[in-house]
């Protein structure tokens, strides 16, 4: 028992040091900016010196490692609080509410966000010499996982590529593959495997999610959505809620509200025009649902967002 505790303490210490090193790389790269869209495909780096307001946004299939500080992400009624030894894995594009909860000027929030390439996931799954465990916990399209020294090390090496941009086309792809491999080897790897595996119920559900994301402004016909997923209507409802924590109708409503908010924030449309463009037939219904979801009427919310700026993902 004593030996086991010593080993655990040593691993914890090594992980802590690895996170410090990753945080230092992120801080040096981002500088005084709040975020940095890097030249490495899919890689974003974030920094915040104070907690942020809840920020409704969309998370793509991705890995989010918080090297310093803490983050909370709400998906439906489920919330995920993580940082340090806990990372966030997203396997389907989902509407969420994101919030930095722990950050100060002295100890800022520092995060590594990598969009995952599902074609890379499938390529690794098809390699006969690579064994990927089947075990996973649940089917939700978002889950907390263990931050390992191996994952943090690969993340640090990916950030290092920013110092040698000529190496990005070659090593960027290799490091994406390593990170995907490390995720697949972990306890939550089964979730990523299920989404990427053709014929799996999670993959079929992901097809329905993708269709809704591309056609949210159209009237929702669940029968048509079930046909796209290759499921019965009842099976679609069950698996859709399991993956997204929402019904298809709730999911569509959130997509419409996010899209309208984005268009108003860009200065393109007023509230009524945005409502009709995203599929609402009634401006008053849009105003009610917008206020219920975002906490303020449309134009008041947009004015507040323009004043405070966007929250860090």
What would the two tokens of residue 133 be?
A: 């465990």
From first CA to last CA, the distance across the chain in angstroms is: 40
Range list of H helices, the chain: 2-30, 118-125, 149-160, 168-185, 189-196, 201-214, 222-229, 233-244, 248-265, 271-277, 283-294, 298-308
Per-residue pLDDT of the chain (313 residues; tens, 9 = 90+): 554 555 555 667 899 999 999 999 999 999 988 999 999 999 999 999 999 988 888 899 999 999 999 999 999 889 999 999 999 999 998 999 899 999 999 999 999 999 999 889 989 988 877 777 665 556 788 999 999 999 999 999 999 999 999 999 999 999 999 999 999 988 888 888 888 876 678 888 889 999 999 999 999 999 999 999 999 999 999 989 988 989 999 999 999 998 999 889 887 789 999 999 999 999 999 999 999 988 889 999 888 877 655 444 4
CATH domain 2-196 topology: Jelly Rolls (2.60.120)
Q: Is 262 exposed, middle or buried (0-12, 13-18, 19+ CB in 10 A)?
A: middle
- Report the b/e string of 217-242 with b at 16+ CB within 10 A: eeeeebeebbeebebeeeebbebbbe
Q: pLDDT per residue over 289-307, tens digit each?
A: 999 988 889 999 888 877 6
In angstroms, what is the C-alpha Rg of the chain?
20
Phi-psi region of 221 (alpha: psi -120 to 50; beta: other; left: phi over 0): beta
pLDDT in tens, 92-110: 989 998 999 999 999 999 9
Backbone angles phi, psi at 88, to 5 degrees: -115, 125
CATH class as words, domain 250-308? mainly alpha
Q: Are strands 94-102 and 70-75 parallel, antiparallel or unpaired?
A: antiparallel
């Amino acid at each position: 028992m004593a030996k086991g505790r010593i080993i655990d303490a040593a691993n914890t210490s090594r992980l802590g040091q690895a996170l410090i090193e990753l945080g230092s790389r992120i801080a040096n790269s981002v500088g005084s900016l709040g975020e940095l869209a890097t030249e490495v495909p899919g890689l974003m780096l974030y920094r915040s010196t104070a907690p942020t307001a809840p920020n409704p946004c969309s998370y793509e299939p991705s890995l989010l490692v918080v090297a310093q500080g803490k983050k909370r992400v709400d998906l439906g009624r489920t919330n995920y609080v993580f940082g340090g030894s806990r990372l966030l894995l997203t396997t389907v594009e989902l509407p969420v509410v994101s919030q930095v909860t722990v950050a100060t000027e002295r100890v800022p929030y520092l995060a590594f966000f990598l969009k995952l390439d599902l074609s890379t996931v499938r390529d690794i799954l098809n390699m006969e010499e690579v064994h990927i465990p089947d075990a996973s916990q649940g089917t939700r399209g978002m889950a907390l996982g263990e931050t390992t020294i191996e994952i943090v090390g690969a993340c640090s090496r990916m950030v290092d590529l920013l110092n040698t941009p000529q190496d990005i086309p070659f090593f960027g792809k290799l490091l994406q593959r390593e990170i995907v491999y490390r995720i697949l080897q972990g306890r939550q790897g089964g979730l990523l495997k299920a989404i990427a595996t053709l014929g799996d119920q999670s993959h079929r559900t992901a097809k329905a999610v993708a269709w809704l994301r591309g056609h949210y402004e159209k009237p929702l016909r669940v029968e048509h959505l079930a046909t796209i997923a290759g499921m019965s209507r009842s099976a679609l409802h069950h698996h859709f809620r399991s993956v997204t924590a929402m019904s298809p109708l709730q999911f569509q409503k959130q997509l419409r509200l996010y899209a309208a908010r984005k268009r108003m924030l860009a200065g393109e449309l007023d509230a009524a025009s945005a409502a009709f463009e995203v599929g609402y037939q009634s401006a008053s219904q849009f105003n009610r649902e917008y206020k219920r979801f975002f906490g303020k009427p449309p134009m008041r919310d947009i004015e507040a967002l323009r004043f405070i700026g966007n929250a860090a993902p």
